[in-house]
Every structure is written in structure tokens, then in C-alpha cells.
Structure 1
């Protein structure tokens, strides 16, 4: 009979050693060529807004932070890293990017629209993967190199702390054409300004898991509502509601009865618990009216207390 050493027995009991956050985050930054930010829940998130695209919808020039921001969110899992994300692509970019992702072992969990009538049309690819942080980052960078996604200057030498501070600074400020305090009161949530857009995140009441692993808010498990001022007291809204099956049609009814268009219903994950559906929406109207409609929809959903 083989006798295991004390070290081997302990290794079986406790599993592989956890990665040091500073090490794996720097590997991701180096592989992608762009620094991310530390987020709640142990998430390291890299934003990749499609600033190269000039997209209009119903006469509104869409800001990247309203509906055109690719993102990748990473979380340590023992000696590996998990990644989830959403890539904004033009139609001709889709298959070259998907081919490289599949070659590198990154799964595609969804491909769909978020908007209707936008020109040029954009599609959204949701991804999931796990493994060595450097290899994951390299695969993702090579895949996105098949698109025109801008990465900006190399920032691998910047520390995560400095990147977080820069991100926080960019997310503060005011929108003179939008009464954000009134939106906060109506929705019962406080948002933040980011790139000329007011963004509100509303987590669900229950923990969301994918393949048994918890999916924090920063990895896409929360309801996202974005407001972009369009002049004369109006605002364009879009985002996605994260819903269980029984909530889906009550939310559709609440949105449509308040003049808000439902533009897509689909999955983002494959092994989610509970089973969730993501509903995207659009409207361009008076801000108080739309905020009231969004609150009516939120009242149909089991959300965490504000």
C-alpha cells in the first residue's frame, strides 16, 4: 500500500493553493495589454468600450457607456481563474472572433442583439472560460485582434490600485441635463456617472451561480439600467433586466405599458442557478416618465434591498 506524505494528504484536503491577486491580475493585464480595476466580490474587470464605432438609433448617437462597452471580468478559483464577459462586435467581426475563442478553449454562451434598428448593427457575444490567467488573457486578446476593438496604450506597468483610482475618478461628476437625484428617488437606487451616461445597477435578492460558482454583480448578474441625456428633458434608456421565468412576462407588461420597448430576451449563461433570462429594452422620452416605468418593472422582480 502506498503511504502518502503529510504534505500530500494536506494537499488533497485543502486543494491547490490560491493564486495571489497581485500576480494573476498582472498576468491578465500583461496578456490583454490593458489594465483593469478591482471590483467587489474579488472580481478583476477590464472595460473595452467600442469608441471606434459611430452607432445611431432613432436619431440618437449612442455613447459607448450606454450600450457599446465590451467587458471581461475575472475571478480566482483556486489555482485557476474564471472569466465571463460580453463582447460588442459588428456582424463581420463575429465569426473570426468566435473561431479564435474556440481554438483557445473559451466557451461562447450566447450570441444575440441588444438593440433594434441601430446603424451599424451590433451584436453581443457572451463568453465563459477558466484556466491559467496568462493563457486566458492571451486567447482573449488574440480573438479581439480579429475585430477593431480598441485597447489603447499598453498599461501593463500600472498597478491595480492606480487603475481603480483612475476608474473611480472617471465615474464621478454630474450630468447637467439630467436630474439624477430624481432618478435615484424613483428607482430607490443610487447610480453613477460614467462617460456621459448615468448607470444604475440593481442586484437580485438571491445569489446567482453558474456551474456551482457564485457570479458576483461585477460579472454580469445584476440588472443594468443606463440613461443618456438626449436634450429637452429627454433621455435614452437601455440595459438589461435579469429575470426568472415567472418574472419575465410581468416585466414585459410593465415596460410596454409605460412606453418602453422590449428589444431582446435571451440567456447569457449556460449553467446558471436559478435559471435566468436577460431582457433588453429601449426608449427615448422624458426622464421622469421612463424612470417611473422602470420602477414599475423593478417592482415585479425579486431584487436585493437598496
Structure 2
């Protein structure tokens, strides 16, 4: 009889503990204030009960776009959006895709980064589009208010650019000298390494290492960071590629944008690679030494993450 009573009390206690744990878990999962998200973003949204996601959208109808000589309706993939889902302890996760023209990409990216959002990809969706359209993927973890405010800042920056210049620009500001006369020595001093000279141009390449299908792949197989310089020492251009691990992406992006280097693509080059590398393509204009110093700062930030 005593054993029966003890077992019964144990079962009741266990059930109460389970109920309390379940209630606590339920309490720790936040509920989205969808009206507040609409207020902060200035956009109407749609709630998916099945996925517990609230999504706001903003069609890019302010500029007429042709793809393959066909006038493209926004319904066919020309809509910016941001989706929010609750996580735990009053926090939320946001993911989104932002339709941007070439002159909007970098100001919008800087705005997103400064607002505490992450930029996770930048690429095209179409060929033969006029004007050229790109898609900047964003994400974030934090309070729904902070994330929604960040999204609004990005959209406002895009609107500000188009209000000032209704037609998308066709070039970055700054000049590039017509004759290539880069001085290698000054750039080698910045990077602390020898580079390659070719017809007045200069290039440095820094190899990294990974494995694909258990085979080591490195510099010559395309796992590398590089910077190539052309023009003159005073009117130069740099373009290149960063081989970058996922935890390096946001710090390097922030450094590059703070230095005025334009980001032109963020994507992958390989599959089945360990560790997983992303590749960040960039373009900058200015004095060659200043450009080299900007790239070196990003390299130093990248290296510091693994010390």
C-alpha cells in the first residue's frame, strides 16, 4: 500500500513538473506583434499560421524593368520582402530578399549592416535585364522591433536614392586612368608580400585550403583571395575576390564598406567543400595605395578571427 501511494505521488509530481516545463517553454517563445511590424516597416503583411511567419512585401514598381525585351511585372519576382518568425525569450528571426539596382546595392548594404542586420548573399536572378537588377539577401536575430526598424531603414535608403536620381546610375563615381601604370613596390609594402606585374597592372593572390570529396583543394584550384589593380597610382581601380568562411562574412563586409569598397557579388563557387567557403567580389576606385590599405584592413580583420 505504501509503495502504491509513493508511486502515485511520484507520478503526480512528475506530471506537474512536466506541465510546468511545458508552460515555461511556451512562455519563452515570443509572439509576434504583427501590427507593430507593419507600423515600423510601413508595409502591410500576411501571417502564415502554418509556419508562424509574418511577411511584409514591397514591389519594385518605381522603375520600369525589361527582361529579355519584355516588360517585367513585379509579380514575376520583382518584390522585396522580409519575413519574421518568433524564437525564444521575446526575440525574433528575420530573413528577406531585397530588389536593388546597381547604384543602390552598396548604400543599402551599408544601411543594413549599420542597423544590425546581416547581408548573406548578393546576386542576379535574370539575364538581359534593363536596367540590371540584383537581389540582396538579408537576415537578423533580435527583437522584432529592431529587425523591422532595420528593414525600414534599408527600404528608405533605396527610396532616397531613387528620389534623387529616378534613373539608376550606369557607373561608380571616380575616374580610372586610361593608361595602366601601377607601381608594384608601394602595394607590395602594404600587403607585405610579392605580387604579379603585367603591362602596368598588379595583382596579389592569397591561397586558402579546403577539401572536396576528401581531396585537398587550395590556391590553384580557386580557393583564394585576390586583388588586382589597374589605372595609375592616383586614378586606380581594384577588383577582386575574398574566399571567406561564413563567420568571416559580416566582419569583412563591414570593413570593406567602411573603407568605401563596393561589393558586387556574394555567392558560392563550389559544393561539397569543407569548410564551406563563400566568395565576395568587390570593386573600388581611388588612389592605388589607399585601395590596397582598405583591402589589407579587411584581410587583417579576417585573420584576427582565427587568432
TM over 0.5: no
The structure number with the bigger radius of gyration is 2
Structure holding more helix per residue: 2
TM tier relative to shorter chain: 0.3 to 0.5
Q: Which has the higher contact order (CA 8 A, sep 6+)?
A: 1
Q: TM-score, normalised by structure 2?
A: 0.43
